[in-house]
Amino acid sequence: MEEVPFIYGKIAIGKDFCDREKETTYLVQYFTSLINTIIISPRGWGKSSLVNKAAKLAMVQDSNLRICHIDLFNVRSKEHFYSLLAQKVIAATSTKWEEAIESAKSFFSHLVPKISIVTDSTNEVSIDFDWEEVKRNPDEVLDLAEKIARKKGLKIVICVDEFQNIAEFTDPD
């Protein structure tokens, strides 16, 4: 079998992530300084791998920094986006599922989240909402990261992959 010179179609880690030292250094600085950053390049050029590598390094440098990754590749509606945003922010800022549930209960004043927990090795927490409630109070979800950051003394960076998919939503504004 012929060896492939690079990983394609999934996140490159360890020895599979190569070069990009300058870009990694810049991105770590941007993350730790909370600088809004947009990375644009053709599909398959390693943007997600670069963000993944820099995020790990940035969180090692700053123990109060949390990086929340949201991939919009399969997200086709506002409803799905809001649920995914809440789920990923809570997961990135909670150390165990009990804390995730407590965060979900304490940071939503108008929304009643529906919480599901996968009780396997991942302990993944899934959050869903009544869409009518979210339409009346969208800031409850959109301001979640800021509320958690203030209460827990954290810095939160939200990385959105495949951001252009928002244009596919029924009402993308």
> Mind listing the pLDDT tens digit for each residue in 68-95?
999 999 998 888 898 889 888 988 888 7
Q: Which two tokens stand for residue 145?
A: 């990261």
- Decide if pLDDT at 67 tops 90: yes
- Decide if pLDDT at 29 tops 80: yes
Give 81 or 44, the one with higher predicted confidence. 81
- Decide if pLDDT at 37 tops 90: yes
Q: Where are the alpha helices (DSSP H) in 62-143?
A: 78-93, 97-107, 131-136, 139-142
pLDDT digit string (tens) for 144-172?
999 999 999 999 999 999 988 898 888 76
For residues 7-36, give the mean pLDDT. 83
Return all residues near 153 (Cβ < 8 A) that are at least 6 apart: 64
Element (H, E) at 112: none
Give 99 or 4, the one with higher predicted confidence. 99
Element (H, E) at 109: none
